[in-house]
Structure 1
Amino acid sequence: MPNKAADQELKAPDQELDAYLRLNRASPREWLVALRALSGWDGVECRLGTGGGTAGALSALTSGLGRVVCIHASQDMEITGRSAPGPVLLLPRAGDPAISRQDKPWQPMLHLMAARSSDRFRLRLPRNGRVMILRPAAGIPDSLIRDEGGKRLADCQDLITAYLLNSPFFRDDAHARELTDDLFRQLAATASNEGASPRGRPGLDRRIVRMIEKIRQEPAWDFNLRELASHSGVSERNLYYLMKRETGTTPYRFYQRNRLIRVRRRLVDCQCEVPHISWYAADEGFSHLGRFAALYREHFGELPSETVQWRRSLRHRKPVSAPALALDRIPERQ
């Protein structure tokens, strides 16, 4: 039987869009094949700092209006982008990444940046660095690309930040894709100077924060609304309506989704010949496999077996050749 304690020791890192985790602790070859598949960008290349080991984690969500790819580097890496299928937005999230555009000197990547499909850029991520790549299906107006550090880019960054703050409260896969489409619509309107300046998302009520922390930090805890309300310092009725008002979901729905996300993390990492889906589900309290599979598909848009098969399919995709995947040490930053 799988060792749950060992799985938890090797859990996925904190990652944007963790409900759409696709890859974790990947080999260099898997990493680049997955990055190309998830971004739809065959011209992307990668160089790893140590030349081996594991590359990091990838999460990705594709909606009708665009793609969002979240990258977590488990070691120093350099990602080179050229010949993109369309313009992209690049957002730093952690670890002080740097960027070089059109072979110019390296600069700290401090805010949202836009790049044309013809631009050649290099991203340098330190260990535990994180960056997002957004590819709107409708492209990006040149006015936004020329708006380096300007108001429209700042407004677009605020929109993306608000989207990420809302992402832990996606009710299901349909809701996630709906809000992702909304994000790309708002980005297009803001880039064209047609949208109102975005308003920041107010901070969550401290009682909701306490509830969230308990659900996330105590994976073995069985849901009990009375206990949860007592822990949060509010009545059961008020906790329900407070959570619904501030996040659009309910305490139990949030609890259920987090259990499903923990199963997904283990399935993403599953390298065994026969995936232990039923065991992983049972570990998180899902006793009826058919009901679990239906819930899983409702939340993530695919069956548990499809999550496992997606990573396995990387082995059979087009091989990555040098120089697309350079395994020599990254030179010191200039």
Structure 2
Amino acid sequence: MRHPQSKSELEAYLRLNRAAAGEWLHALRHLLGCDDLECHARRSQAVFGSLSAIEADAGVVCVLNVAQEMEFTHCLLAGALLVMPLEGRCEVALTDGPRLPMVPLATVPADQEFTLTVGGGSRLALVFPVPGHIPRWPVQGAANALAVCLWQFLFRSEYFHGHRHACEEVNQLFARVRELLSSGDPHPAGEEPSMELDRRLVRVVDKIRNEPQWAFNLQELASHSGVSERNLYYLMKRATGMTPYRFYQRCRLIRVRRRLVDCQCDIPHISWYAADEGFSHLGRFAALYRDHFGELPSETVQWRRRLQALDNMSAPSGKTCTAS
């Protein structure tokens, strides 16, 4: 099965970066609704990784970038869970013994305790809660179809038009998963959408994403891609649903979000971060930010700070990530 090799899945919904043990654990407890979840790592004082997550009415899709080998235990979830390795190694074993197949993904039924082991440098996606009955051993065709469905979602996530569109896509993903599990038919109803961009668009996307100091210029962008301005506009719109400028604007907002997530200062300098990315009017910037991410810039900062506060409250009880 072919899949994209991008490492930017759900970067617009980054929640933790270079996370410490306690905030990492509390984030996963919150996202999976499991207060008893425990995490064991070799180096409890070291960085645990980064975490991106989008929550919608149907459920949550989470991508973990794991910095070191770790094991999650006491995982007993009220709903079923999909675990798909994106890169590296991870294993899922049920408490009653069997290790679940991980290629292309593992399906974990509800109300069954399991252990998740992840290798350092690995990336994995979690989809929760999966509705209805989920088989412990899905047929290969259905498992492949589920994996393709999730890869397509992750590819499209780089080009969400805004938060409303993102939530619609999440809800559609869960509906498709429910359909695949209930029908048992691994074959899509129509032609699968492509998970590859035209090479001319790849040049455009790379330039916008990797050159933060570049100021938007459609004529220059068209010359760089090798097509006319008009053709570039329609190529981009047809392939991603976004105009070149909308994608440029979104990449700038994502860079501000990363700085807000990383901020460890008492008062985040939101206006400074915004100005560094060319947003001169703070009110318009805040409105754009909420349109894209579903929250204000200050709420992005507070999400991580709440986790740190929970960690400080729970530290005396010893309920945090521990060294194995």
Q: TM-score, normalised by structure 2?
A: 0.91
Correspondence 1:122 to 2:120: no
Matched with 1:328 is: 323
Counterpart of 2:180 in structure 1 is 190
Which of 187, 204, 214 lines up with 2:207 in the alignment?
214
Match among 281, 286, 296 for residue 274 of structure 2? 281
Residue 236 of structure 1 and its aligned partner are, at CA, apart by: 0.2
Q: Offset at 1:193?
A: 1.4
Q: Tell me how far apart the structure 2 counterparts of residues 101 and 297 of structure 1 sit (CA, whole Å).
A: 40
1 CA distance for matches of 2:233 and 2:82?
37
Measured against aligned partners, the alpha-carbon deviations of 1:45-74 in whole angstroms (never above 9, x if no partner) come to 211121221111111111111111111111
Cα distance between partner residues in 1 of 2:98 and 2:53: 30
Alignment of 1:52-67 (within 5 A): 52-67=45-60
Where 1:267 maps in the other structure, the secondary structure is helix
Aligned to 1:262: 255
Change (3 A) 1:322 1:104: farther
The answer as to 2:20 corresponding to 1:27 is yes
CA gap 1:81/1:214 in 2 versus in 1, 3 angstroms: farther
Query: Quick one: distance in 1 between partners of 2:315 and 2:108?
Result: 25
Question: Unaligned stretches of 5+ in structure 2?
Answer: 1-5
**AA aligned opposite 2:66:** A
Aligned partner (choices 151, 159, 162) of residue 152 of structure 2:
162
The superposition leaves residues 292-327 of structure 1 with CA deviations (integer Å, 9 ceiling, x where unpaired) of 000000000000011111111123325267775352
State the SS of the aligned residue for 1:204: coil
Using the alignment, how far apart are the partners of 2:100 and 2:107 within structure 1? Answer: 15
Contact conserved, 1:70 with 1:131, CA < 8 A, in 2?
yes
2:268 alignment partner, SS class? coil
Q: State how far apart, in whole Å, the 1-side matches of 2:321 and 2:278 are.
A: 43
User: Share of identical aligned residues, percent?
Assistant: 48
Give the one of 113, 116, 120 matched to 2:106: 113
- Partner residue in 1 for 2:9: 16
Q: Is the 8 A contact 1:46 1:78 kept in 2?
A: yes
Task: Classify 1:26/1:116 alpha carbon distance in 2 versus 1 (closer, same or farther; 3 Å).
Answer: same
Provide the rounded CA distance (Å) in 2 between the counterparts of 1:171 and 1:81.
Answer: 38
Contact 1:152 1:190 in 2 (8 A): yes
Q: Which amino acid aligns with 1:164?
A: L
Deviates more, 1:241-250 or 1:35-44: 35-44
Please say if residues 82 and 117 of structure 1, whose CA atoms lie closer than 8 Å, have aligned partners that are also in contact.
no
How far did 1:261 drift?
Answer: 0.4
Q: Is the 8 A contact 1:61 1:68 kept in 2?
A: yes
1:150 paired to 2:150:
no
Q: Structure 1 residue 250: deviation in Å?
A: 0.7
Show the counterpart of 1:84. 77
Cα RMSD of the aligned pairs, angstroms, is 2.1
Per-residue CA deviation, residues 80-121 of structure 1 (Å, 9 max, x unaligned), is: 252212111111111122232226376773321111222222
What is the DSSP-based 3-state SS (H/G/I as helix, E as strand, rest coil) of the residue aligned with 1:228? helix
Closer/same/farther in 2, CA of residues 15 and 38 from structure 1, 3 Å limit: farther
Q: Distance in 1 between matches of 2:140 and 2:101?
A: 16
Partners of 2:132 and 2:320 in 1: CA distance: 28
